[in-house]
């Protein structure tokens, strides 16, 4: 019962277009998601969830630009770190992935050299 209530709240509040959600084109499909801007970070020196999965000898810097929240019913089969995702026509890399209670949280951004 509690889990059903939480999922209902997600649909009716968090993913409500009049509250937090916006329609975006993700991988060629228009879906309602929540997008938040996050501060740019040098992932090589940042600890925790933004930590880089790049080879330490590479000189690239990951910039974590957005957090996306996508419902399971709107998501593709699976998201993985270092995979590409298209958001509104821009190709970005998935830098962090969390999945909880039917919602994917993706940290996405571009890599600069």
Name the residue ranges covered by the structural domains of the chain.
2-112
Return all residues near 56 (Cβ < 8 A) that are at least 6 apart.
44
Whole-number pLDDT of residue 50: 45
The answer on pLDDT for 104 being more than 90 is: yes
34, 22 Cβ separation under 8 angstroms:
yes
**Alpha-helix runs per DSSP H in 1-113:** 2-9
Q: What is the pTM of this model?
A: 0.73
Query: In the structure, what pLDDT confidence band is assigned to residue 21 with cuts at 50, 70 and 90?
Result: very high
Share above pLDDT 70 across residues of the chain, in percent, rounded to a whole number: 73
Q: Report how far Cα 19 is from the mean position of its chain's Cα atoms.
A: 19
- The predicted pLDDT at position 46 comes to 45
Q: What is the mean predicted confidence (pLDDT) over 4-26? A: 84
């Amino acid at each position: 019962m509690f889990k059903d209530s939480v999922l209902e709240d997600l649909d009716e509040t968090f993913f409500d277009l009049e509250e937090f959600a916006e329609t975006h084109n993700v991988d060629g499909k228009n879906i309602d998601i929540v997008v938040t801007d996050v501060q740019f970070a040098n992932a090589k020196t940042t600890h925790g969830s933004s930590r880089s999965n790049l080879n330490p000898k590479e000189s690239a810097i990951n910039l974590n630009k957005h957090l996306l929240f996508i419902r399971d019913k709107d998501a593709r089969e699976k998201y993985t770190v270092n995979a590409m995702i298209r958001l509104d026509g821009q190709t970005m890399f998935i830098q962090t992935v969390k999945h909880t209670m039917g919602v994917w949280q993706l940290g996405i951004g571009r890599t600069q050299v």
